[in-house]
Structure 1
Amino acid sequence: MIKKVIVGICLLFATGTFAQEGTASPYSFYGIGDIRFKGNTENRSMGGLGVFTDSLHINLQNPAGYGQLKFTTFTLSGSYNTSDLRTNSGDGKARRTAVDYLALGLPITKKLGVGFGLLPYSSVGYKIQNIETSEETSITKSKQFFGTGGVNRAFLGAGYKINSNLSVGVNLDYNFGEIETTSYEFWNTIQYGSRELNTSIIRGLSFNTGAMWNKKVTEKLSVYASLVYTPESTLRLSNVRNIAIVQERTNSNPIVIGDPQEIDVADTRLKLPSKFAFGAGIGEANKWLLGAEYTFQNTSNFANRFQDISTGTYENSSKLSVGGYFIPDYDSFTSYMNRMTYRAGFRHENTGLVIADKSINDTALTLGLGFPISGSFSNVNLGFEYGKRGTKALNLVEENYLNVILSFSLNDQWFVRRKYN
């Protein structure tokens, strides 16, 4: 069945992945936008914990997990986000729907597995307005900022099971995308305003390596460990800037007056910072797991696309994830709810972004449910993520958000040699 489903779903969702606006956060104004979570719905529902993998799910956080696959696994995920944006002077709401990932894992031999797919790496999607009025002169200055686009990532990886305890793997990523930002400025004493349009075409390669280890310590209990390292890599940005005179209109986009002028802007390079993640857990296979994971990223060397239009700076980022799952009775024939997987987790992240000398943090609680599909090894996973990012201090923005994530993990056996003709 999975062979018939894959082609149709890929064609339906691949185009949407490239074009979607996956965030409404004003913090996506900085750098190359919001860095999206690279992991499946199952991991995300456990606070982002990626220390555990099995033969039925693709672990997008650690390529060593490909070596554990026993079935061809196709997975697809989408999410719905609603955010309350609050400042000391006002508030607003935003909603977004996005495709989170599309991936296929193939067990080539009993020890070797490969995986490839497509996912968004970063998203830009903001609408900001700033109005300043001078009490002395009654002159009002209005600025509006809009941003769309982001960076997508196509990946190809392989994982190898060295022995029953240890697996290693590597992913090669091709990053591509386009970011478009527009800013308007109007003065109440001047008939026309100005528009600045910046477009960046982004390309670049990156890779990461990983290892996963597990060992039985008692008849039932096993311990797990995971290690992922991502070296520093470079993105190439082809930049174009366009300046125009515009006339402001009520309830409509400003209209361009005259011919826009293209301004020479140098092409730039951005370094994606190196990242290191280590996690450990303990549990009983097909029963329960409890673990924690720490991630460190050298974002202090990261820079904005254009240093002359962004004021944010960066420090090293870090993230702590704690979570786990519980299955009441994996083999139950009498109760469907006993065969379901129940997941929960917590994460706290220093995003690395610093505005007005204030670090922007992101904290969330997560819950998840795994629904097995009767008569197969496939499953449907539903996740919930409720969190807060930023602060209202220093006239910044506080985001309270809820993400609802839905994914499908479809499993089948390919490349099985026939015993009978």
Structure 2
Amino acid sequence: MHLAKPTTAALKRTIGIISSIFISSMAIAQENSPYSRYGIGDITPNQNMLNRGMGGISAGYADFQSINLVNPAALGNLRSTVFDLGANIDIRNLKSNTSPDKFKSVNTLISYLQVGFPIASEKFQKKGNYWGVSFGLRPVTRINYKVERNERLANIDSLNTIYEGNGGITQANISTGIKIKNFSFGASTGYSFGSKDYSTKLNFINDSLIYYKSNTATQTQFGGVFLNLGAQYEIKTKNRGLLRLGAYANLKQNLSGERDNIAETFAYDGNGGTYSIDTVSSVLGAKGKLNIPATYGAGFTFNNDHWTWGADVEMTGWDDYRYYGQKDAVQNTFTVRAGAQYFPAKVNTPYSKYWSFVKYRAGFYYGNDYIKLDDKNRAAYGFTFGAGLPLTKLQRNSYEYYRDGDVVLNTGVEIGARGNKESQSLREGIIRFSVGVSMNARWFMKPKYD
């Protein structure tokens, strides 16, 4: 297989196009998940596509040509400029434990847009030290649901209730990681911003009486600074092996909010939209806090010439979550992740053997869902599979990375679920197809001449 090597100009044009797509996707992405009503909504996977293929292991993972979105300490390993974009298609299947009802939704979402590059001076590198930075944008949570309920009431023919919500949290981030000998440490900071809007519409239907339709809505805008920390330590073993230990902490966030509460009567117009008839009550601009708890994780990876495998554990204290001082239907979580990657190519493998240069990945995760609607713990688990498909002429320089200038398409499939049959709440199954494009080039490094 012969693929042309991309030029720097082509990569820059691609970045401009994909950046526009990212902004558009954030505006048009649609889904329907009733569980996003609780807490801060559906939490999107926070790993890059490479790590997702291995069950999401990230604490102890680092390489020369990818951006670790979970542990900023890994940025100390960057050797070239990296542009990384990820997107996924989610297929959700909801099933009731108390009735045969089923519901299916499909949505597409850009997962992240990141750029990273090394900034260490040549003098700093000669001492065995490295320094990298990255910046980008990614959605952290999504709130998007619309549930309609019809029921019969005494003395009224029927009641139609529509529960609707949208919003979520997005983060703009800047991160840095420094590697000094075998030890790396890093930090990521930036701004978390978003909204949490939900409403309940009531429509009483009677053959002889006409009732006003009512709407109770709450709209909250919030934002604030976040800080994540990370560290990694490398231990070289026999037979070209490398053990990397890692840990990270996402510190507690206290986002400032401004909330509007409105109760009104309304009517539908000829186009299916709504307009207000009368405002029953209105409280605008109420100040408050959205308290998001801290997350702690630790793990390891082990690399040799052809294999990478590892495991992570992660815990989040959701009991500390508050929305304007109020608790919600959430609980503390503990998750275990494990996965592996196989890279068949050897240093002298010719690029004509394309499939030897594909990186094959698999993994799993298991834990409990952070939403708790009854006394039963809701499990959250899944199996992941993925592959790193090089899109340029191939050459292997070491067991960790391709040649500088390569473009890699990271693909993945996640088959997961949350909920259990003992619970009275819904069970949700998910199939997530993920794809990421990682491009490498020495844009910010001085050329050397003999």
TM (norm. structure 2) is 0.86
Matched, 1:79 2:97: no
Contact 1:211 1:227 in 2 (8 A): yes
Distance 1:294 1:23, change over 3 A: farther
Matched, 1:194 2:214: yes
Render the CA deviation track for 1:369-398: whole Å, top value 9, x for unaligned. 110122343211111011112245554111
Contact 1:22 1:123 in 2 (8 A): no
Render the CA deviation track for 1:121-171: whole Å, top value 9, x for unaligned. 11111111233334x6565333211111211001101100011x2211000
**C-alpha distance in 1 between matches for 2:17 and 2:421:** 41
**C-alpha distance in 2 between matches for 1:129 and 1:279:** 43
**C-alpha distance in 2 between matches for 1:129 and 1:269:** 30
| Post-superposition offset of 1:254 | 5.0
Partner of 1:53: 62
**C-alpha distance in 1 between matches for 2:82 and 2:173:** 16
Moved more, 257-266 or 82-91: 257-266
Partner of 1:145: 163
Matched, 1:404 2:433: yes
Partner of 1:262: 282
Contact 2:73 2:184 in 1 (8 A): yes
Moved more, 370-379 or 152-161: 370-379
**C-alpha distance in 2 between matches for 1:321 and 1:222:** 20
Partner of 2:400: none
| Post-superposition offset of 1:330 | 4.6
Aligned residue among 97, 107, 112 for 2:118: 107
**C-alpha distance in 1 between matches for 2:247 and 2:256:** 28
**C-alpha distance in 2 between matches for 1:48 and 1:359:** 22
**C-alpha distance in 2 between matches for 1:391 and 1:24:** 20
**C-alpha distance in 2 between matches for 1:92 and 1:270:** 31
| Post-superposition offset of 1:220 | 2.5
Aligned residue among 284, 297, 310 for 1:291: 310
Task: Kindly report which structure 2 residues correspond to 1:168-207, keeping only aligned pairs within 5 A, or say none.
Answer: 168-189=185-206, 191-207=211-227
- Secondary structure of 2:355's counterpart equals helix
Distance 1:251 1:118, change over 3 A: same
Partner of 1:388: 417
Contact 2:149 2:160 in 1 (8 A): yes
Partner of 1:359: 377
**C-alpha distance in 2 between matches for 1:265 and 1:395:** 37
Aligned length: 415
Render the CA deviation track for 1:216-268: whole Å, top value 9, x for unaligned. 21123221211001221211111112222124689945554345753346322
| Post-superposition offset of 1:338 | 1.0
**C-alpha distance in 2 between matches for 1:280 and 1:176:** 32
Task: Kindly report which structure 2 residues correspond to 1:294-373, keeping only aligned pairs within 5 A, or say none.
Answer: 294-304=313-323, 307=326, 312-331=328-347, 332-333=349-350, 334-373=352-391
Aligned residue among 66, 72, 76 for 1:63: 72
Distance 1:130 1:312, change over 3 A: farther
**C-alpha distance in 1 between matches for 2:260 and 2:299:** 42
Contact 1:352 1:359 in 2 (8 A): no
Contact 1:18 1:177 in 2 (8 A): no
Aligned residue among 76, 83, 95 for 2:106: 95
Partner of 1:36: 44
**C-alpha distance in 2 between matches for 1:374 and 1:301:** 48
Render the CA deviation track for 1:162-190: whole Å, top value 9, x for unaligned. 11x22110001210122322211222345
Distance 1:315 1:160, change over 3 A: same
Query: Given residue 403 of structure 1, which amino acid in structure 2 is its aligned partner?
Result: R
Moved more, 324-333 or 48-57: 324-333
Partner of 1:19: 27
TM (norm. structure 1) is 0.91
Contact 2:117 2:444 in 1 (8 A): no
**C-alpha distance in 2 between matches for 1:91 and 1:186:** 24
Partner of 1:282: 302
Please give the root-mean-square deviation of Cα atoms over the aligned residues, in Å.
Answer: 2.4
Question: How high is the sequence identity, in percent, across the aligned residues?
Answer: 27
Render the CA deviation track for 1:319-359: whole Å, top value 9, x for unaligned. 11111110111542141111100000101121322112233
Query: Given residue 191 of structure 1, which amino acid in structure 2 is its aligned partner?
Result: Y
- Secondary structure of 2:372's counterpart equals strand
Distance 1:139 1:251, change over 3 A: farther
Distance 1:394 1:365, change over 3 A: closer
- Secondary structure of 2:24's counterpart equals helix
Distance 1:146 1:339, change over 3 A: same
- Secondary structure of 1:57's counterpart equals coil
Query: Given residue 186 of structure 1, which amino acid in structure 2 is its aligned partner?
Result: N
